[in-house]
Structure 1
Amino acid sequence: MEVIMVNNSISDQTKQTILKLQQKEITEQAIYINLSKRLKKESDKEILLNIAKEEGMHSEIWGRYTNKELKPQRFKVLFYSFLSIIFGYTFVIKLMEKGEVGSQNAYLKLSEEVPEATRVYHDEQMHEQSLIGMLDEDRLQYVGSMVLGLNDALVELTGTLAGLSFALQDNKLVALSGLITGISATFSMASSEYLSARSEDNSDAKKSALYTGIMYIFAVIVMVLPYLLFPSDKYVHALITMLILVVLIILIFTYYISVAKDLPFKKRFTEMATISLSVAGISFIVGILVKKFLGVDI
């Protein structure tokens, strides 16, 4: 059994840093254990449990310096577990790994007073390599289909609802038209994705179509919701709320993709938001012009 000599002459600042690292390690151990319970692949489970075991060992090392026995931060464990249900375990692991950069820097600074910090630092590097090797989550294989469904729904329906808002000036009529258009477009997009995947000899064409359809109908429901909640004559309020929701959807989804797939966030978010809002603005003008020149008054 390895005997670790503890340096009791470390500074108070270093002790505080070690205490934070101890808390982080014991909390992440609990998170990895929770994530492992939801995985079907035994190899992935084993990797996560091994990493959880090492995190626990690191916590014990820091505990020899703090002389404290800490418990996982319950809220943080529950929060990451919730995120894994919504966004998948890949997103959560990548999100946690982003936080490791600062921790690894802390380990390097600690190494002057605490020799074990160097070993823990190398363990963390091994963790990252192991994690990257296991990230083959099913849903990430269909990110292209998800992006297709969401992008098309946001661009098409944003323009449609914006145009209808001033053409009809009645939230109930806009919601009715939006739902009919959105549901029809969902089946159209899903079937198109299925045929496209089949033409490329994709054995999982049904899953591709399913992910496309799910993202499309999700966007439809969220975007039409303001028109159902506001009074019929408050179409401007509904339109503004819908545009805010569109930006929020783009923000959340772009962040998810940027973390899970290691892609740039700012450029993708700006591009997608600009396209959707530009289409909404053009359709808004078209709606006014159509109403004026056709002389339609509802």
Structure 2
Amino acid sequence: MNECSGAALKTLIRMQQNEIDEYHIYQKIAATVKSEEDRKILLQIAQEEASHGKLWGKYTGLQPKPNTGKVFWYSLLSKIFGYTFALKLMENGEDKADKAYTSLIQEIPEAEKIAEDEERHEQALLAMLDEERLQFVGSMVLGMNDALVELTGTLAGLTFALQNNRLVALSGLITGVSATFSMTASAYLSAKSDNDPQAVKSCLYTGVMYMITVALMSLPYLLLPAEAYIPALIALLVTVTLIILVFNYYISVAKDYNFKQRFLEMFVISGSVAVISFLVGLVIKAWLGIDI
């Protein structure tokens, strides 16, 4: 075993564990990837991670086992959000390793080559962005954002106009389902007019995202008592915020977008519509003299 300082040894043990974990993560995810080209890239990176782990083992004298919890977590993320999101999220954590490599170069010259390998990993992953779901991000954003803007306003307005969660849920779901079919048809016709060969898939992604968003937003009105319309409205706003948060975080990681900017933009638009619709609901209710 090669000698190195105590501080460097602690860093090496941590980095060796990380390399072993990532080797198993790349191997596990590669086995589920349909694209032959992407699978080859992932397996190549996995082998490089394994070689890095062996190199650090010369200095640590250890042969650590993979962190099964970490391997399972990133494998699960890849199944839910796609392998591009899971792997880029993992690779983003390697930014912290850059400083560690720099501090090790004086004692361990090999650290410089490994740092270069890690940079290549990131570039290779960026070039792999051909996952089907990422090809239709625009369609997904269209479906989700349209549902958020339309249904947030509709449900917020109906909440104070009807003051009954069951009636609000009924009206919201009818509106949402009808709007889903309308939105899906419009997305198909729009893509078809642009001679998009993927018009069917494009409209399906739009429609599915629209329907999922409608279902999540209607849930508080279905689960809470009929008279608890204020808590339902609060739950709706929390749900809308979480939908925007999770989706924009996913997109920011997978496509390298500015998370804060996109989140605030979508949140402000949906929130503004909700406030305006809430006020409109009160005005119309008072104007028509309806008391439910």
Deviates most, 26-35 or 95-104: 95-104
Match of 1:129 among 123, 126, 135: 123
Residue equivalent to 1:138: 132
Tell me the C-alpha RMSD between the 2 structures.
Answer: 1.0
Residue equivalent to 2:48: 54
The within-5 A match list for 1:201-280 is 201-280=195-274
Distance across 2 between alignment mates of 1:75 and 1:214: 32
Distance across 2 between alignment mates of 1:215 and 1:53: 37
- State the Cα distance separating 1:77 from its structure 2 match: 1.0
Distance across 1 between alignment mates of 2:51 and 2:96: 20
Match of 1:159 among 129, 153, 159: 153
Secondary structure of the equivalent of 1:39?
coil
Report if aligned partners of 1:7, 1:114 keep a CA contact under 8 Å in 2. Answer: no
Match of 2:90 among 87, 92, 96: 96
- State the Cα distance separating 1:129 from its structure 2 match: 2.3
Instruction: Tell whether 2:11 aligns with 1:17.
Output: yes
Report if aligned partners of 2:21, 2:71 keep a CA contact under 8 Å in 1. Answer: yes
State the TM-score, normalized to the length of structure 1.
0.96
The within-5 A match list for 1:181-192 is 181-192=175-186
- State the Cα distance separating 1:35 from its structure 2 match: 1.0
- State the Cα distance separating 1:180 from its structure 2 match: 0.3
- State the Cα distance separating 1:289 from its structure 2 match: 1.0
1:40-94, Cα deviation, whole Å (9 max, x unpaired): 1111111101110110111111111111111111111111111111111111122
- State the Cα distance separating 1:134 from its structure 2 match: 2.1
Distance across 2 between alignment mates of 1:129 and 1:286: 51
Moved over 6 A (4+): none
Match of 1:198 among 192, 215, 225: 192
Deviates most, 46-55 or 93-102: 93-102
Match of 1:175 among 165, 169, 180: 169
Percent identity of equivalent pairs: 58
> Runs of 5+ in structure 2 lacking a partner?
none
Q: Which amino acid aligns with 1:56?
A: A
Secondary structure of the equivalent of 2:139?
helix
Distance across 2 between alignment mates of 1:294 and 1:57: 75
Give the length in aligned residue pairs.
Answer: 292
Secondary structure of the equivalent of 1:232?
coil
> Runs of 5+ in structure 1 lacking a partner?
1-5
Residue equivalent to 2:34: 40
- State the Cα distance separating 1:293 from its structure 2 match: 0.8
Report if aligned partners of 2:248, 2:263 keep a CA contact under 8 Å in 1. Answer: yes
Secondary structure of the equivalent of 1:134?
coil
Match of 2:280 among 273, 286, 290: 286
Instruction: Tell whether 2:23 aligns with 1:7.
Output: no
